[in-house]
Amino acid sequence: MSPTTKTSRLAALAGAISLAALASACTTVGPNFQAPEAPKTAGYLAKDEASPAAAATLDQAGVGPWWTALGSPELDAVIRQALADNPSLVEADATLAQAGAALAAVRGQAGPQVSANAGVNRERANLQAFGFTSFGDLTLSNPTFSLYSVGAGVGYDLDLWGGQKRRIEGATARAEAQGRRAEAAYLSLTANIALQAATIATLQAQIASVEQMIADDEANIALVRRADALGGATRLAGVSAQAQLEQDRAQLPPLQGELAAARHALALLVGKAPADWTPPAFTLDTLKLSAPVPVVLPSALVRKRPDILAAEAELHAATADIGVATADLYPNLKLSASLTQGALKPKDIFSYDASGWDVGAGLTAPLFDGGTLKARREQARAAARVASARYQQTVLSAFGQVADALAALSAD
């Protein structure tokens, strides 16, 4: 290697090291995300609504799946079957995997990008274009030859303003949000199954009660008829008894229809066609709380509910997007380097004399774009305000749901 070549390569290496040092001093533009402050309220119900039944045990964590508190082996078996077969959970898992892959792709874009190439070109050189038409008394003709080449290149975005960091931050938050949605789908499914099981048990109890009323009505009519035969009952008593029987019979078809609909809904939640699956015989006696309902404080609820955590993660992602849009307003610096081996014969392609290389840096900066980049930043800021409002609404809705549940427990 000649001294000149060695000096050139050392200079290129020194330049690359200098630019890498510059990259280490890069800043990250845009606002840093801060989780919303936890609510300071100490309860869910107004003071005039509070009661011993609603003042459930304050606990930071439950033990085992929540539905085991109902003490129903049949319900436990149905829920576990649904967790294995329900298509909505399969969809949630696939969407979560999609978000994870998107995050991996964004992270990959932030690192060095390496590529390789190989090729062969058949070329004819135009010597006249360079002023070579003759050599002494000889007339030069344009030569035809084949050029064989292999090479590799690397490029790296120095991310001077942290745009790539913000992209990774946003993708991470979106993956977190999707994970929380998967948790919410799990809770929603299990809650709906428990609700349908309770509905089936309630309707079966109501149907049994109505059937007993019908049996009592029929027995009463028989008594009235015997009394009438003995002259001890009026015609009005018979008409009244028959009317009561018809009234009670009329209650049965709607209840039976509701029971069939509840069974069908439960089959769909389990991931089965109604014709292919029959629910177990749930009873109200086997669906009872065996312990007080664990309720967390409002300040802890916002750190536990997956729907609230998903909304917070979306707010985080929207905040990171502001940084991405802000970084796009500033100049961008990229490093690149390549090594190419080229020769007229394949056997010479890896010889030292066949090598060529380059190291460079490219700076790009927006000068005029008609206000597009600034508009995108304003769009990102507005999206963050939307995400903040949705978060607040999600928290309020969660508090309302807990308040309704506690009020229902108080009324039982």
- DSSP annotation string for 208-243: HHHHHHHHHHHHHHHHHHHHHHTT-S-HHHHHHHHH
Q: What are phi and psi of 312, to 5 degrees?
A: -65, -40
Name the packing angle between helices 87-110 and 163-229 (round to 10°): 170
pLDDT tier at 368 (50, 70, 90 boundaries)? Answer: very high
Question: Of 42-56, 290-304, 377-391, which has the strongest mean pLDDT?
Answer: 377-391
Q: What is the pLDDT of residues 140-169, one digit of tens each?
A: 677 788 889 999 999 999 999 999 999 999
Question: Cα–Cα distance between 97 and 103 in angstroms, integer?
Answer: 10
Look-up: residue for tokens 């380097």?
A: 337
Look-up: residue for tokens 């989780």?
A: 35
Q: Where are the alpha helices (DSSP H) in 230-295?
A: 235-270
What are residue 297's DSSP bridge partners?
none
Question: Cα–Cα distance between 31 and 3 in angstroms, integer?
Answer: 50
Mean predicted lDDT score pLDDT of the chain? 83
Question: Cα–Cα distance between 23 and 28 in angstroms, integer?
Answer: 11
pTM of the model: 0.78
Residues 192, 198, 200, 202, Cα dihedral to 10°: -150
pLDDT tier at 293 (50, 70, 90 boundaries)? Answer: low
Asked whether residue 365 carries a pLDDT value surpassing 80, the answer given is yes
Question: Cα–Cα distance between 410 and 45 in angstroms, integer?
Answer: 11
Q: Are 293 and 56 in contact (CB under 8 A)?
A: yes
Question: Of 27-36, 228-237, 278-287, which has the strongest mean pLDDT?
Answer: 27-36
Asked whether residue 404 carries a pLDDT value surpassing 60, the answer given is yes
Q: Return the SS3 of 153.
A: strand
Asked whether residue 14 carries a pLDDT value surpassing 60, the answer given is no
What are residue 147's DSSP bridge partners?
121
Q: What is the pLDDT of residues 109-142, one digit of tens each?
A: 999 999 999 999 988 877 777 666 666 656 667 7
Asked whether residue 4 carries a pLDDT value surpassing 60, the answer given is no
Contacts of 282 (CB under 8 A, 6+ apart): 72, 74, 75, 197, 198, 200, 201, 204
For residues 283 and 320, the model is more confident at 320
CA-nearest of 176, 150, 192 to 357 is 150
Classify burial at 79, counting beta carbons within 10 Å of its beta carbon; exposed 0-12, middle 13-18, buried 19 or more: buried
pLDDT given at position 261: 96
pLDDT given at position 134: 62
pLDDT given at position 30: 94
pLDDT given at position 115: 94
Q: What is the pLDDT of residues 31-52, one digit of tens each?
A: 999 998 877 665 555 555 554 4
pLDDT given at position 344: 87
Structure tokens at 349: 């392609």
pLDDT given at position 53: 42
pLDDT given at position 12: 52
Asked whether residue 172 carries a pLDDT value surpassing 60, the answer given is yes
Give the pLDDT mean for 172-201: 93
Strand order in the sheet with 113-124: 113-124, 144-157, 332-343, 355-364
Question: Cα–Cα distance between 276 and 321 in angstroms, integer?
Answer: 48
Asked whether residue 334 carries a pLDDT value surpassing 80, the answer given is yes
Give percent of the chain above pLDDT 70.
79
Give the pLDDT mean for 332-355: 89
Give, in order, the Cα–Cα distances in Å from 104 to each of 96, 97, 110. 13, 11, 10
Please state the separation of Cα 58 from the chain's center in Å: 30
Question: Cα–Cα distance between 72 and 409 in angstroms, integer?
Answer: 19
Structure tokens at 27: 């800043």
Lowest mean pLDDT, pick from 28-42, 78-92, 183-197, 246-260: 28-42
Give percent of the chain above pLDDT 90.
55
CA atoms within 13 A on the CB side of 105: 7
CA-nearest of 77, 283, 293 to 190 is 77
pLDDT given at position 57: 39
